[in-house]
Structure 1
């Protein structure tokens, strides 16, 4: 990594030091997140009814098999990758493990606060608070050996997806056909507040495994040095992506109303959908890392803009939720009930594209994402934040 002339916060990365692959992966996979969320919100607005046209059916199957349950695992892995990198840098700078652990848990506490506010004000399916809980609860895994790390990961992979599938099937059976459109913002906030205690544990138990895999990958520099890990990345992409698609297809067909299945088939395919989603998410990340290695320093405007979005992924993620309120809430534009499923998914892609453009504008101006800046300030302190921003400006203008 190139040196910088101004000291950044200990353990933090300046703009000039950032690797392309993780940022590019975040930027691209935010498209998956946007499309999936638009699809989910459209479905909720229509009471969970099956698609009403052949085009919408194809769209629904494609979103489920290719996107849902595949984007969040990759982000959880990148979160683990990032925390492991912070710990490695702190250790290289001579900090003790208790000092590094204190920093990581402080970051987790503030992520939790961001996530709670995000849930109350914008979106019921928040992941930031879950990542904050993981940082606080599983920081100790950063110093565990590889064997124990992967063993615990395997336990969480099987048990977490099993618990999620069981509870999700029970919840769906209990509320099927009773979905209501919340026509008042205060009612919406209250409902999200009551939903969070049920949603957060389910997201947490399915996020621990990819988080631990991300820690393992960071120790080998899989994404920050993709050229040295090409064989592993090729295998992961070649196996993971097809497994994710094939494993998700049966559940996608049931959810889209193409295959009747039954309670037993729904449970079995739902569990396979979640478990193979890990493979799909890791496969996508590996493929993007291979692209980043191929691109190297020869970044065109598209790759640069996508990486800028990934560098500001938290801001982009929150802006997506603002867009969902404006576009889909019944007390705003209420478009979810006025367009078909395919149009809603296209709107999701459009929202993502807008965040990419905005991120690139901020990059050209040498401005960090507002959410990232706030989290950095709260984690490292205002003095370190100013130094880190000064170190990043020259790289941002190039």
Structure 2
């Protein structure tokens, strides 16, 4: 971070967290896009009746991606919050000012999330994370043991029996996902968005709290100092994610005919997905150890996506809106599971190219610039005053 107490410069950021965010957006693209597809039989957000390849792709996404991307997002989000607070404190900023800085950031996320959900994608998570940050800023003052106990409590909530799963759904897309026209879309989304924004933090709280704890120790920035811990988390977390997904993913792929597996196995899929999110973050941090001294062009390009994750996330939603909305391209009835996964991958690759171009130009990204200008407005203003008075 520079001496003004503002955000860390792009050239001084650690590779691990940015690389994790970059890969995470590929997972988010694969996780979000298939929910737009329509079909006579819907299994876990995938239409039935596809080819053998479609079934394998659906089973793979359900096992490795669905419910695994957003926990990794939550860990990285909490990690970033902890690092922002730590950098401000190191610069001598009072806790009250740090709290207001983070509250401004949370309100920007809520506002952007509301517009995102209304205009592009009702499955927005930005507003939910904004609400979580607004309420969760207080945990930055907690001791480590209370943070971990709270994370454990929220994790237990995902294990409790429920009527389904947060990560997978047996229902086809409704008008809030695929509105027949723009005005009907606004009407359908308006009552849904606040529910997602207010209930989403319950599911995101555990990864967020673990991320705050990890951010205090700079585990992802200094992975060589925590190699044994990261190796353990990677093996156990990813292993649990795969094993815990099998009852649902085998049903989605059509290998079992159980009528309602989400009622019994949905919570298991979610809980193990949380562990998988931790495992993925740990794995990428370990990879960063080998890459950080001599990052190649591909590594730099993917980390550039992580540095501009908000812009790249919103870019994905623009493409989903154009591709799937009935009054635009209307491909929800035409694409298969496999071609949709290819579209998601191509969309991510497009954001990699765009982010890399911005990296080469030294441009942070439009939405990153927006959120930082609002988040650090008061601190930067105070710094200018201090500089003037010193002169």
User: Any stretches of 5+ residues in structure 2 without a counterpart?
Assistant: 384-391
* Alpha-carbon displacement from aligned partner over 1:83-102 (angstroms, at most 9, x marks no partner): 11111111111122222111
Q: Which residue of 2 aligns with 1:325?
A: 321
Aligned length: 376
Q: Which residue of 2 aligns with 1:150?
A: 148
Indicate yes or no: 2:242 matched with 1:245: yes
Deviation at 1:325, TM superposition (A): 0.7
Deviation at 1:167, TM superposition (A): 6.1
Q: Which residue of 2 aligns with 1:25?
A: 20
Cα gap change, 1:79/1:44 in structure 2, threshold over 3 Å: closer, same or farther? farther
Instruction: Decide whether the 8 Å contact of 1:46 with 1:337 is kept in 2.
Output: no
Instruction: Decide whether the 8 Å contact of 2:38 with 2:173 is kept in 1.
Output: no
Q: Which residue of 1 aligns with 2:375?
A: 379
Cα gap change, 1:203/1:230 in structure 2, threshold over 3 Å: closer, same or farther? same
- C-alpha distance in structure 2 between counterparts of 1:303 and 1:35, whole Å: 20
* Alpha-carbon displacement from aligned partner over 1:256-310 (angstroms, at most 9, x marks no partner): 44323244x4222100000000111111111110111111220100000000010
- C-alpha distance in structure 1 between counterparts of 2:133 and 2:188, whole Å: 27
Cα gap change, 1:382/1:90 in structure 2, threshold over 3 Å: closer, same or farther? closer
- C-alpha distance in structure 1 between counterparts of 2:164 and 2:97, whole Å: 38
Cα gap change, 1:318/1:46 in structure 2, threshold over 3 Å: closer, same or farther? farther
Deviation at 1:123, TM superposition (A): 0.4
- Three-state SS of the structure 2 residue aligned to 1:258 is coil
Q: Which residue of 1 aligns with 2:81?
A: 83
Q: Which residue of 2 aligns with 1:361?
A: 357
Q: Which residue of 2 aligns with 1:16?
A: 11
Q: Which residue of 2 aligns with 1:395?
A: none
Instruction: Decide whether the 8 Å contact of 2:17 with 2:306 is kept in 1.
Output: yes
Candidates 39, 42, 46, aligned match of 2:34 = 39
TM-score by length of 2: 0.90
* Alpha-carbon displacement from aligned partner over 1:89-130 (angstroms, at most 9, x marks no partner): 111111222221111111111111111111111001111111
Deviation at 1:179, TM superposition (A): 4.3
* Two-structure CA RMSD over aligned residues (Å): 2.3
Instruction: Decide whether the 8 Å contact of 1:161 with 1:206 is kept in 2.
Output: no
- C-alpha distance in structure 1 between counterparts of 2:272 and 2:294, whole Å: 34
Deviation at 1:354, TM superposition (A): 0.1
Q: 1:122-137 alignment to 2 at 5 Å?
A: 122-137=120-135
- Three-state SS of the structure 1 residue aligned to 2:108 is helix
Deviation at 1:185, TM superposition (A): 1.9
Q: 1:266-345 alignment to 2 at 5 Å?
A: 266-345=262-341
Cα gap change, 1:383/1:366 in structure 2, threshold over 3 Å: closer, same or farther? farther
- C-alpha distance in structure 1 between counterparts of 2:165 and 2:221, whole Å: 36
* Alpha-carbon displacement from aligned partner over 1:307-342 (angstroms, at most 9, x marks no partner): 001000000000000000111111111122112110
Q: Which residue of 2 aligns with 1:116?
A: 114
- C-alpha distance in structure 1 between counterparts of 2:319 and 2:123, whole Å: 14
Instruction: Decide whether the 8 Å contact of 1:11 with 1:87 is kept in 2.
Output: no
* Alpha-carbon displacement from aligned partner over 1:33-86 (angstroms, at most 9, x marks no partner): 001111111257986642422111111111111001000101111110011111
Instruction: Decide whether the 8 Å contact of 1:64 with 1:252 is kept in 2.
Output: yes
Q: Which stretch has the larger CA shift, 113-122 or 45-54?
A: 45-54
Deviation at 1:239, TM superposition (A): 1.2
Indicate yes or no: 2:197 matched with 1:200: yes
Cα gap change, 1:305/1:178 in structure 2, threshold over 3 Å: closer, same or farther? closer
- C-alpha distance in structure 2 between counterparts of 1:363 and 1:293, whole Å: 21
Q: Which residue of 1 aligns with 2:387?
A: none
TM-score by length of 1: 0.89
- C-alpha distance in structure 2 between counterparts of 1:198 and 1:257, whole Å: 32
- C-alpha distance in structure 2 between counterparts of 1:357 and 1:366, whole Å: 14
- C-alpha distance in structure 2 between counterparts of 1:44 and 1:14, whole Å: 47
Q: 1:223-238 alignment to 2 at 5 Å?
A: 223-238=220-235
Instruction: Decide whether the 8 Å contact of 2:165 with 2:266 is kept in 1.
Output: no
Cα gap change, 1:254/1:179 in structure 2, threshold over 3 Å: closer, same or farther? farther
Instruction: Decide whether the 8 Å contact of 1:123 with 1:192 is kept in 2.
Output: no
